Structure 1
Amino acid sequence: MNKRHTAIAIAVALLLAGGGLAALFGLPTAPAWIAATALMLIVAGADCLSALLQKRAGVDLLALLTMAGALALEQYLAGAVIAFMFASGRALEEYASGRAQSELAALISRSPRTAHRYENDAIEEVAADAVGAGDRLLVKPGEVVPVDGLLLSDAGHFDESAVTGESQPQRRLRGDQVASGVVNAGGPLELQALKTANESTYAGIVRMVEEAQAVKAPFTRMADRYALLFIPVALGVAGIAWLASGDPVRALAVLVVATPCPLILAAPVAIIATISRAAGRGILIKNGAALEQLAAVQNFLFDKTGTLTVGRSQLTGIEVTAGMTPDELLRLAASLDQVSQHATAQSLVAEARRRNLDLSLPHQVQELPGEGLRGQVDGHAVAVGSLALALNGAPADEWARAQLRHMALRGRSGAFVSVDQRLAGVLQLADEIRLETPRALRELHRAGIRRTAMLSGDRRDVAETVATALGFDAVLAERTPKDKVATVREECRRGTTAMVGDGINDAPALAAANVGIAMGARGAGASSEAADVVLLVDRLDRLPEGLALARRGRRIAVQSVVAGMALSGIAMLVAAFGYLPPVAGALLQEVIDVAVILNALRALRPDYHQRLEAPLPPEFVEELRDQHQSLQPVIDRLETAASALNAEPPNDIRKELEAVATLIREQLLPHEREDEEQLYPKLADVVRGFDPMGTMSHTHREIFRLARRYEQLTTELNADPPSELQLQELRQLLFSLLAIVRLHFAQEEELYFTLSDTR
């Protein structure tokens, strides 16, 4: 940090103290005090001239006139005190700005410098800038990941706190993408570089941080203009006081307390402090203008995939045409998807690696926003994405239309794959809503957001299914990137609008919005570069937190300016009536400056509403989700059996029904009983209230009742085929049990996630 103003303040303080010592020993005091005033006059004069030449605000003019007036009126002690107060005020601003930018400076200082690259079976240390896409890297324990890469090791733990604000190490599995700038918190790991250092996530973050440090907020620029308008007002009051009293010292006293420090210091400190505080929470607000716009947002538009949903769609099925095997279709698609930052692409890559498929490095890759990718894989022309992209202008046949109908009925999406201009198959995908999404939307509505809408390129039936579950005010589906831009611009005419997205196809819409907000945890790509705000942590609940921080920061800035200028105005009137001499006025003005800067620095501290410790550790939620994940095969078997009752002959379904009964009895019910008997009594003390877990316990009882009835029905089956009445009741029981278990799991996960969330 530049300590120039601190050094000048120390020099002026020494000269002021030197004059005081001279007075104690009966020596002349004027030389030391004149030197202190002259030193500050030279420094402030040079700075003021430089600012005027650059057409920036020259608000130091009042300080120059004050110190010059003190010398002219032979008020040497007053001049020295004024010089010290002015110098110390600048030093205080220097310190405050440094504190306010602490989180931003920490992000810049952690830029990766070196990497360990495999060269002919040897490991060499090279500069991070020398790493290229496809290089195989070793990341040692405690090292910063130098570039974005794919994890080649089976698993790894990474400390992402400096980038995202997440306090707990994050676990990544083989095939997952690892962002640059995070720290290896486990053993040695191997990565395959996806990008160069300059193109990687952390380099993008650093560029955005530097932009955040450089750009002034509209409120700050407005404060500068008001400060310049304040100069003639102060000169007018000082002139009137001089004319009315005939005492030029009284005019000097007015100018001493008229320095508009609350405007020129408090506003930028509060804005930068808020940006820094947000960065510490994994919310990168690029500049003060973005912060002010965010504070004024009335409407929110959301992309669906990767924003409202986890963005890591699970592969639920592979349908292939003649001549293609499922594994080969997935291998070709995942090989091409390795270079894409899109969430669906990365999930396919991860799934292929989990199946130990041998992925190839693609060539001549072209990413088409909103459509998918084309490229060469092992000499084959491969396309992955929409049906239109895969067909390349050819009409859809009955097989393709049947796949679309099937996915629509089940609320799923798919990535069609063509190989050498021939449709080879479709990868069926199912995404899930983020755990924190419902709570984030509720918090936005509680914060006074007027309208929320889901803006998606997905089919209307898929989009409406998600939007209905979340309670959006509007659903805008089947929008191309061009349509999204037009929709965003139309929404902006209704009020200040924010657009939230994560994919490269969202970049134009983010740029068109009043405030573009990117989910940037997977990289600082086109969407992050186009956005005004980037959520570095992959959690949507940081969005209402960022909104609250922006509103609080602007409120603190306004409070500091209004209170500081009001106090300065009162002090001017007191000085004009002769009740505040210059030395006392300088001391009072310093107290006002310190007070407004300390108030502005409040933006660095968390709001007392957010100083809540979570009653449950985050590991608890992960354990619960693991348990629920282990029961997913049981839920899938329930769905398969229910569907089979409509298709299979009655005699062929008996064994499947009995197998499902065994799974329910031996796996599902023991889990629910353990929750009811051991977990819920403990949670009741945390949640509090009269029978706070009563609703959840009632769901348990319903699960037990349905399971009991299903067991009875399967026991009643004999050698004869089930009657139509029995089949009908079995179908109802299975579908009812399936629905209530899924809902119950979702309720539990959201409740425990909320209780474990560390704000």
Structure 2
Amino acid sequence: MQSVHVTRALFAVAVLGLATGLVLTLVGRPEQASLAWAAGAAVVLAGLVVSIVVSLWRGEFGLDIVAALSMTGALVLGETLAAAVVALMYAGGSMLEAFAERRAGRDMTALLARAPRSAWRLRGGKLEEVPLGSVEAGDRLLVRPGDVTPADGVVADGEALLDQSAMTGESLPVRAPTGAEFVSGCANAGGAFEMVASRRPSESAYAGIVRMVSAAQQSRAPMARLADRYAMAFLGLTVALAGGTWLVTHDPVRMLAVLVVATPCPLILAVPVAIVAGMSRCARAGVLIKNAGVLERLSRVTALLFDKTGTLTVGTPMVVGIDAHEDFTPDEILAAAGALSQGSSHVVSAAIAEHARRQGRALAPPRAVSEAHGAGLTGEVQGRRVAVGAYDHVAAHAADRSWAESRRARGGERGMTAYVGIGGRVAGAITLADVVRPEAARALARLRRSGVSRIVLVTGDAPAVANAAVKGLPVDLVIAGASPAEKVDTVRREHGRGTTVMVGDGVNDAPALAAADVGVAMGARGAAAASEAADAVILVDDLDRLPSAILIARHSRRIALQSVWAGMGLSLAGMVAASLGYLSPLEGALLQEGIDVAVIVNALRALRIQAESRPEPQSGRTEEAAAPQPAAPGA
């Protein structure tokens, strides 16, 4: 495959040579016109020969050989105009193919950009910034608010609040007390804390994921061009018919006419046009397809694997329940907590305030708000002292905590609980959890109808959480407690059943996305590393876009194949006519141009593909309909 710049240059040379020759013919200079046509065709032929040699060296075989034979024969026999027309057909088709095959870079720039380059090390009572490569196991490090943990380690002093979503898929920040272990790549969502590195950064979980993504990408075999799958049969037929014509007639011009008509521009043109049109339709449907081979593979998908957090679930906490002290009502608790939560940008505070607004509460402005990182908020709401957050934080501001102690003693808490104190009493508790997407059931049902025969959930969550999340959904298999490496192994096992698609959104999903036939990232809120490793990105936060993309891919491939078979049939008819002497090389080239136009027009029908209609995505979800389950670390 030539580079985009070379392909464009060859197309420009072909156009220039053909146009120059036509102008010279009009002004009565046929010899110079023939030289112009020959020169343009010779340059294109030289580029084509180089491309063929490189392809054969890589073990790739394509239909470009037929185009090279027809151009060579035309130049040798002095049919320079026919050679120029074939050169234009080939260069134009190659330019379309290059446009279709251009790939978005997968060098994991986002993944690498997120990795810290240095760390703050405490040594000899001094704090110093050192390169990451200088960190050794046992070093004591300071992790500032917002920093990414530079190595696997343990909390050395105090309590850390870690956002592990990029590494584990856990949507809620996790509190890590002194002595708690954690992995590299987690963001510090609370105040500064000290850690002790348990291993060097190069041996960390984050570095391991980077290596797995790279290895998975390199091990996946490249996808052959759709047109090339017909190359051997078509080339054999062409050589047989052209050779038979020569043996019967001993007329090299008639043999050349057969080769010119056989120039596989219907294949070279129709496939990329249909595929590019399909990619355009997918983009309009909210799914970015990174290259043409992805669309081909997506059209044949039979097995779908997906992560839970951020893929099957919304990936952010939502209010799923409110418990109230007998002296307070749930509405009163929600109004007070929602009002105070306006004073913080924390993910839990934002979820409480947003839920209160969706419930129609008019939230009063809070006053004198103070926030303890990783603990909670305090402030005044309409003249009353309000506290929201962890039990210890709220209890410290309450004289009466008997209701909360009784509730905690009963146990059975799910998800994350934010206690609410009002006027010096623990008044209630708000439960938050990561809930199943409102469109999940509809999307999975549409995937079944689109031809996906096997659906597998593969997640790091505990089995109970994973099974509860897929209750009532058309899922064939649940694999829980899976590490990134185990997700890759699952993808490879499922590949034995057919073409696989893996859907995920976190850094921990990146290796599996790269290992699948098609990796699909939830790009709206997912980790940038997942989008880099994926073949396709869902640009909006709506899982229902995936079945639309699969349907578009299937229709696009069907249209491409229709164009291929129609083009090959017409070319075969022209080859027979040329072998019988009814077509000259130039007439054969012009006939082939007509066939090209016909197949391109047919291929452009892919722009009008309409995926199965679906309801608009819901903006919210009621607590009753959500059937939520709390997320668990490791998703």
Map residues 360-759 of structure 1 onto 2, 5 A cutoff.
405-407=411-413, 412-414=414-416, 428-481=431-484, 483-607=486-610, 742=624
Change (3 A) 1:89 1:526: closer
Change (3 A) 1:526 1:350: farther
Secondary structure, aligned partner of 2:542: coil
What's the counterpart of residue 303 of structure 2?
Answer: 299
Q: Following TM superposition, by how much is the alpha carbon of 1:546 offset from its aligned partner in structure 2, in angstroms?
A: 1.4
Q: After superposition, what is the alpha-carbon deviation per residue over 1:83-117, rounded to whole angstroms, capped at 9, x for unaligned?
A: 1343155236536865x689989xxxxxxxxxxxx
Inter-partner Cα distance in structure 2 for 1:311 and 1:604: 33
Change (3 A) 1:246 1:361: farther
Residue 91 of structure 1 aligns to which amino acid in structure 2?
A: G
Contact 1:266 1:597 in 2 (8 A): yes
Inter-partner Cα distance in structure 2 for 1:487 and 1:561: 36
Change (3 A) 1:478 1:235: closer
Q: After superposition, what is the alpha-carbon deviation per residue over 1:550-595, rounded to whole angstroms, capped at 9, x for unaligned?
A: 2222223322223222322222122112122222111111112222
Secondary structure, aligned partner of 2:288: strand
Q: After superposition, what is the alpha-carbon deviation per residue over 1:126-159, rounded to whole angstroms, capped at 9, x for unaligned?
A: xxxxxxx989xxxxxxxxxxxxxxxxxxxxxxxx
Contact 1:298 1:496 in 2 (8 A): yes
What's the counterpart of residue 41 of structure 1?
Answer: 42
Inter-partner Cα distance in structure 1 for 2:495 and 2:353: 37
Inter-partner Cα distance in structure 2 for 1:64 and 1:265: 16
Q: Following TM superposition, by how much is the alpha carbon of 1:443 offset from its aligned partner in structure 2, in angstroms?
A: 0.9
What's the counterpart of residue 17 of structure 2?
Answer: 12
Residue 406 of structure 1 aligns to which amino acid in structure 2?
A: G
Map residues 85-164 of structure 1 onto 2, 5 A cutoff.
85-88=86-89, 90-91=91-92, 94=95
What's the counterpart of residue 259 of structure 1?
Answer: 263
Contact 2:505 2:530 in 1 (8 A): yes
Contact 1:12 1:84 in 2 (8 A): no
Q: Following TM superposition, by how much is the alpha carbon of 1:522 offset from its aligned partner in structure 2, in angstroms?
A: 1.1
Q: Which has the higher helix share?
A: 1
Inter-partner Cα distance in structure 2 for 1:613 and 1:599: 27
Inter-partner Cα distance in structure 2 for 1:400 and 1:528: 46
Inter-partner Cα distance in structure 2 for 1:95 and 1:483: 40
Change (3 A) 1:96 1:471: closer
Change (3 A) 1:37 1:315: same
Secondary structure, aligned partner of 1:470: coil
Secondary structure, aligned partner of 1:573: helix
Q: After superposition, what is the alpha-carbon deviation per residue over 1:503-551, rounded to whole angstroms, capped at 9, x for unaligned?
A: 3333344344443322121144333333332212100100101111222
Q: Following TM superposition, by how much is the alpha carbon of 1:46 offset from its aligned partner in structure 2, in angstroms?
A: 3.8
Q: After superposition, what is the alpha-carbon deviation per residue over 1:388-416, rounded to whole angstroms, capped at 9, x for unaligned?
A: xxxxxxxxxxx999689513xxxx42389
Contact 2:242 2:258 in 1 (8 A): yes
Contact 1:500 1:517 in 2 (8 A): yes
Secondary structure, aligned partner of 2:521: strand
Change (3 A) 1:247 1:345: farther
Contact 2:507 2:527 in 1 (8 A): no
Residue 298 of structure 2 aligns to which amino acid in structure 1?
A: L
Q: Following TM superposition, by how much is the alpha carbon of 1:283 offset from its aligned partner in structure 2, in angstroms?
A: 1.1
What's the counterpart of residue 191 of structure 1?
Answer: none
Inter-partner Cα distance in structure 2 for 1:216 and 1:281: 28
Aligned residue pair count: 454
Structure 2 unaligned regions, length at least 5: 106-144, 148-212, 324-335, 357-362, 375-388, 391-404, 420-428, 628-635
Contact 1:227 1:260 in 2 (8 A): no
Q: Tell me: higher relative CO, structure 1 or 2? Use CA pairs within 8 A at least 6 residues apart.
A: 2
Percent identity, aligned pairs only, is 43
Residue 287 of structure 1 aligns to which amino acid in structure 2?
A: N
Cα RMSD for the two superposed structures: 5.0
Inter-partner Cα distance in structure 2 for 1:34 and 1:289: 39
Secondary structure, aligned partner of 2:262: coil
Inter-partner Cα distance in structure 2 for 1:489 and 1:64: 39
Change (3 A) 1:415 1:503: farther
TM-score by length of 1: 0.50
Secondary structure, aligned partner of 2:475: coil
Secondary structure, aligned partner of 1:579: coil
Equivalent residue for 1:21, pick from 22, 26, 29 = 26
Q: Following TM superposition, by how much is the alpha carbon of 1:444 offset from its aligned partner in structure 2, in angstroms?
A: 1.3
Residue 414 of structure 1 aligns to which amino acid in structure 2?
A: M
Secondary structure, aligned partner of 1:555: helix
Contact 1:296 1:496 in 2 (8 A): yes
Q: After superposition, what is the alpha-carbon deviation per residue over 1:472-493, rounded to whole angstroms, capped at 9, x for unaligned?
A: 3344445455554444444444
What's the counterpart of residue 83 of structure 1?
Answer: 84
Q: Following TM superposition, by how much is the alpha carbon of 1:440 offset from its aligned partner in structure 2, in angstroms?
A: 0.9
What's the counterpart of residue 273 of structure 1?
Answer: 277
Secondary structure, aligned partner of 2:508: helix
Contact 2:67 2:264 in 1 (8 A): no
What's the counterpart of residue 234 of structure 1?
Answer: 238
Change (3 A) 1:256 1:456: closer
Q: After superposition, what is the alpha-carbon deviation per residue over 1:40-61, rounded to whole angstroms, capped at 9, x for unaligned?
A: 2233224423552564768555
Q: Following TM superposition, by how much is the alpha carbon of 1:315 offset from its aligned partner in structure 2, in angstroms?
A: 4.4
Inter-partner Cα distance in structure 2 for 1:58 and 1:291: 20
Contact 1:97 1:272 in 2 (8 A): no
Inter-partner Cα distance in structure 1 for 2:568 and 2:600: 13
What's the counterpart of residue 205 of structure 2?
Answer: none
Inter-partner Cα distance in structure 2 for 1:480 and 1:216: 24
Change (3 A) 1:359 1:250: farther
